Every structure is written in structure tokens, then in C-alpha cells.
Chains A and B, each alone.
Chain A
């Protein structure tokens, strides 16, 4: 009798599983030729019904990646419609309950794109699907989101602000506040002593703080590992080459060797982000000036944008490192 009941239960369970698998939408990805990302085939997925993406990735290194999507409101892949996540070395499953992390998961989803922020040759997308959420996928998604790169990896803005790790799109601090509040109410109800409840609540909040602090220590350990691999045991010149980018550093060394010894004024034209930051300090005592206003004696050209070259009309060649990296000097 018991065996019969068990068999029926097992049958119902398998049936439910197969029904839920029928809802799964398998997403084939392909590597885009000459581009460092992977894009899915065209899709037509109702984002309200199917809100969880599950990826199985094989990677030969640790790193970060972005998952973009396009929908019928906005068919472009762009940052507002993206999630940032860690990729671990080896084969792993990644769960994203997308609307809990990004409100732009709306309308009909038309395509997905995965952009690894490391050498894409080492990444393989073994399997991808979009499914309705379940308790287990929600838990996995929240857990991976909490340990994700947001607030844990050093980026340009880290010097000004450190975002909190999130769970379901909400900063972890909010959960800490709620937990402390609920704890206080529970203790107050149980002990009916305001001061005793207050004392225990402070203990509790300090405990939560220590846990958050340990999470921060964990981040510091990650940063230490990165910096150790990147810089430890190297000369200051190699460290600068790593920090500035090898090509740009080589160019700055070339410029330093070619410019006159006495201080001269210079400007730099480049498509790089803020190229003057490194050139100004590296080329001291030479003086960085505005190319449009101050008529510098030398123009440094490094991978310029075509429009920037309009400023070079009054200049002639001075020294050349390569086709995209050279120095011009002012003609009289």
C-alpha cells in the first residue's frame, strides 16, 4: 500500500517536473566573429512569465562579465539593461532572477548578449535557458547576486563611494535594518523589558555589523590577490606600464626621451579616456596645456580620433614611434 502511494507521488512529481521543463526556453548562443562577446539567436520571450536566466559557463579563468538583453521597447544592448556578474574558473551554473536585480526586464525579450571582461577565448557557453522563477532559482540568484562584483571589485568610482552588495536589487543594509527591527520587537514581546530588549538589540546589530565587516575583509582579500598577481615583485617601471597600459606607457617613455631637457609646453590628443592624467605626471617638468587655447610647443598624438587631428594644422612631425603614436612640433 505504502509502495503504491510512493509510486503515485513520484509519478506526480515527475509530471510536474516535466511540465515545468516544458516551460524552459533554451537559448542558443554563438560567438560573434571579430567581437569579444557572445550573442543569442532572435527570441520572443514574455519577460513577465519567464524571469529567470540560467547559464552554464565553462571558463579557464576567474573574471567579470556582463549579461545584456534587448527588448521590443529598446532593441539596443546597453548598460541600463544589463547585469554584472563574476565568472569562476571551471564549469558552473549562474542564476539570474532578472527583474529582482534590474527593473528594465520588461516587455518581449528579443535577444541576449554575454560580454566577458577578460579574454573571451577562454569562455564557453555550454547551456542557457530562460525559465519562470522557483524558490530554488530565487535563492541561488540572490546568493550569487550578494557575492557578485557590485561593491566588491575596485572600479574608477571606488575612490569616492562603495556600493553595498545587493540581494534582489536591494542593498544588504536594508535587510540589516529590518532584521534588527524585527529582532527588537520579538525580544520586547518575549521579555517585556524595554532596556533589556534594547541591550540585546545593540548586541544583535553589532553582530550583523561584524558579519558585514567580514564580508568587506573578504573583498579586501580579493583585491590583495589581484594586486599580488598584477604588481608584486615587479620594478616600478613595469608597474606603471601595467597601470597605464603597456602601449601608452611605451609612448610616454618615448616622448620623455625625445622632448628637450628644458621644460616645454605640450598637449595630448588621444581617443583614450583622460590621457592627460598619466602624461602630466609622467612628463614633469614639461607643462601640460590646453591644445585649443594655449598653442602648445609640442603635440603628442596617440591613437587619435579623426576630429582631434584638426588641431594639428599648425604642426609638423618631430618624432615618430609608430603610425598611431608620434610627436608634432609647432611651426613658426
Chain B
């Protein structure tokens, strides 16, 4: 542990010009940094764009994944801070989709000086209902998701692992894999799903002191409108923008509107 650098471990990819304000794009549970393919080039015109994969997904170093380290979102927030430090990013504009929004909240609450702004895309501080709070899901629903993960290895097999983990000798193999953007070791996917959907970060929202934008879709079964409103109400001074988009991934289903909202807030007054 700790031997490799964050750049390699998290498969950090840089776009845009050095010296411009840095926009860091963090994808949520499920796929990898390809989720940003429709908005990253647009952002790269005006910003230094930092893309990465969470350890355990995409082309990160799977060998760096430790169950105990990534059992909480704090472990993932550590990685975000490590990448910022290693790339010497200042006043980062952090865009976190889905569960990564809460990683940004945790990182910004811990080291606010690292962050210029936070943009939370379809955030939810807690997915499971609680007394006086509606997250949209029950505990059995989450177990059902774990079952879905089990029955959909999406072509993962032990034989494929070396290819996915990066086979320098035969890079073409990785290109051929269907579903590779969302391919994860089933064991890691289960653990990440549990960390994601069983976390409760409601109390962390009030600790955010950097300017924050909440981007909410008009119809999202994972982060319903009332959850977006909750996040907005809990983060002092935050703004809320409703995107005319359906589903949980507006960066894919409504890329222009998403790009416009991110760029406007990122370029706006601090």
C-alpha cells in the first residue's frame, strides 16, 4: 500500500490547458470516467479537466483496492485529496456525480482550502429511508441491487482480470471488450454498492463552506427531486438548478444542458 502514486492508481487523465482553473470530474457507482465523454471536451476549452477512475473500477489499479480502506466514502475522499495534492491543484472545482458528490462533500469539509467550488450532480446523502427522511429506497431494495450485480457479471471472468487490470503487452485486448466501461470485479462492485447505498452523509452537508451548486434532474429514480431539495437546504448558501433531463445520468442523456450548467457555475464569481 502507498507504494504507487495516485496518478497511476486512479488512472488520472488530464485534458485542456495547464494553468487554467481545474475542474475535477468524479463519476459515481457503476461505470468509469467515460461517463464524462460528452461533457469533458467542452469543459476542456476553458478549464484544466482532471478525470480519474475510483480504485476498483475502470482502469484503476485493482491491486490497490483494499476492502477495509474503501468500506466508507472517506476512503474514496482520501483518494480525491491525494490526487489534488499530487497534481498540485489549487481551488479545484469538483464535480461529483451521484455517490461521488458525497466524496466531494467529505473532502471539501475536511480540507476546504483545496476547493474553489463544489458541483453536486444528482446527489443523495442517504439512499435508504429514515424517520422523517425519504431517500427513496429500503434496505431490501439495496439487497436486490446486490443480487442484480451478482447475476450480471457483464462478461467479467477471472480469466479476463489480467486484461482489465492492464496488460501492457496487449493493449488491444482491453479495447475489444464490450461493456468495459462498467466492468468491475464482482466482489469490488458489491463492496462499492454497499458503501454507496448504505452510507449516510446528511450530517456532513452543513460542514461544506465552499460555494456549491446542486444539479438535479427533473425525473431521477435514484436521486428524486425532494432529495436534491434536501441537499440544497442543508448546504449553507448553495444554489439549486433543475436540469431538463430524465434519468440519473444527465451528462449522458442531456449533455449540453449539463455542460452549460457546470461551465456557467465554474466560470461564475467565486
Q: Do A and B bind each other?
A: no
